[in-house]
Amino acid sequence: MRVHIKDLQAGDRLSEDVFTPHGLHVLTQGATLDESALTRLHRHSIDYVEIESRVQAVPAPVEDNAVTALQLRPLYQEAVSGFEYMFEKALEEGKVYEEDLKMSFQPLVDNCKAEKDVVSLLLLLNSQDDYTYQHSVQVGMLSYYIARWMGWDEPDAVQAGKAGFLHDIGKCRIPDAILNKPARLTDEEYEEIKKHPEYGYEILSESYVENELALAALQHHERINGTGYPNRITGESMHPLSKIVAVADTYSAMISSRVYQEKRDLLVVLKELYRCSFGELEPEVVHTFIRHMLPNFIGKKVELTGDVTGTIVLNHPTDFFHPLVQTEQSFIDLSTNRDYEILRIYL
């Protein structure tokens, strides 16, 4: 059967060899079409190929990730409200309580365990309201996922999630006029807000006998090359939880929308995160995060420069941040066609 390349499906097999109009052999009869093969067809401007007849099968039920993410929204909002409660309580009493933490964060973790499309979650559960509280919930979720992706067992992954959830608890001691200022901070205000890791360490040291959650709060702005704060330690001195939370914190902050900061696209931020893995953030953590995030972009709609819209259909095997995009008219391989850049990814 003759099929246009934009209508090809993963697993289709060629029934004939494929040649360019100039006679160059592109693919061999019997080849199974995968990411690499489709990219090759596109690069050689092949419009149609002959494939073997498809076997009609009853499709297996597919979980709609967007629907699943929407179902998680109430739990997400409850976690945001729970963190706000803990935030205010920490200011009044100088400590947090494990019972409050479990009630606020654990239900969200329990329902996120089977969720594979983290990108849909971030797109749906991200707004400009209550930045401090939402950011803490996002960092908790991302820290949990990263720890799982790195092969940590469930109790340790949950502990990483808790560390991310509580990493900014020290901000409760920062004056509201600074914390919620609708403009960029002055140098003096920035120096004040840089004290929040130490405040968080004090609060969590009072709250837990074990100090790893406190260390994650203290060290989440440290950098492996010693350029971070508050103590300018290097990666050798950072707790493993701190390295995970640092990556989750950086990513969440860069994709978030704030009055003085335009929200940046999720894929663009991954590129920036990758750059930070060469000196600032722990490479193993960053690269694990990127490898597991990228497959979630397949199927997402994109807005490109030139007022072009399409859908990501394949990730390039060697150029992660320039995928193959299918538009109504054609395929655009961003790894070779640099006339286009991704401006926005959405559901």
Tens-digit pLDDT profile for residues 151-207: 999 999 999 999 999 999 999 999 999 998 888 899 999 999 999 999 999 999 999
More confident call, 58 vs 147: 147
Please, which pLDDT band fits residue 127 given cuts at 50, 70 and 90? low
More confident call, 31 vs 63: 31
Same domain for 125 and 267, yes or no, is: yes
Same domain for 73 and 220, yes or no, is: yes
Q: What is the pLDDT of residue 61?
A: 40
Same domain for 175 and 303, yes or no, is: no
pLDDT higher than threshold 60 for residue 67 = no
More confident call, 131 vs 259: 131
| Radius of gyration, CA atoms only, the chain | 23
What rounded mean pLDDT belongs to the chain?
87
Please, which pLDDT band fits residue 96 given cuts at 50, 70 and 90? very high
- What CA–CA distance (Å, rounded) separates 339 from 332? 10
Averaged pLDDT, 55-73: 52
Same domain for 128 and 158, yes or no, is: yes
Same domain for 283 and 342, yes or no, is: no
- What CA–CA distance (Å, rounded) separates 60 from 245? 37
Q: Give, for 312, the enclosing helix (H) or strand (E).
A: strand 308-314
Give, in degrees to the nearest 5, the angle at Cα 345 between 80 and 48: 145
Same domain for 185 and 327, yes or no, is: no
- What CA–CA distance (Å, rounded) separates 251 from 263? 12
Q: Quick one: residue 28, left, alpha or beta (phi over 0 = left, psi -120 to 50 = alpha)?
A: beta
More confident call, 291 vs 260: 291
Same domain for 291 and 304, yes or no, is: no
Same domain for 212 and 110, yes or no, is: yes
- SS3 assignment, position 331: strand
- What CA–CA distance (Å, rounded) separates 308 from 171? 42
pLDDT higher than threshold 90 for residue 263 = no
Q: What is the pLDDT of residue 64?
A: 52
Q: What is the pLDDT of residue 65?
A: 52
Q: What is the CATH number of the domain that holds 109?
A: 1.10.3210.10
Q: Quick one: which of 183, 182, 173, 193 has its CA closest to 93?
A: 173
> Is the Cβ–Cβ distance between 333 and 43 less than 8 Å?
yes
More confident call, 312 vs 41: 312
Q: What is the pLDDT of residue 4?
A: 81
Same domain for 113 and 73, yes or no, is: yes
Domain count, the chain: 3
CA dihedral 4, 7, 9, 15 (to 10 degrees): -20
- What CA–CA distance (Å, rounded) separates 164 from 146? 11
Q: Model-level pTM?
A: 0.77
Q: What is the pLDDT of residue 142?
A: 94
Q: What is the pLDDT of residue 18?
A: 87
Domain assignment of residue 326, given as a range: 298-346
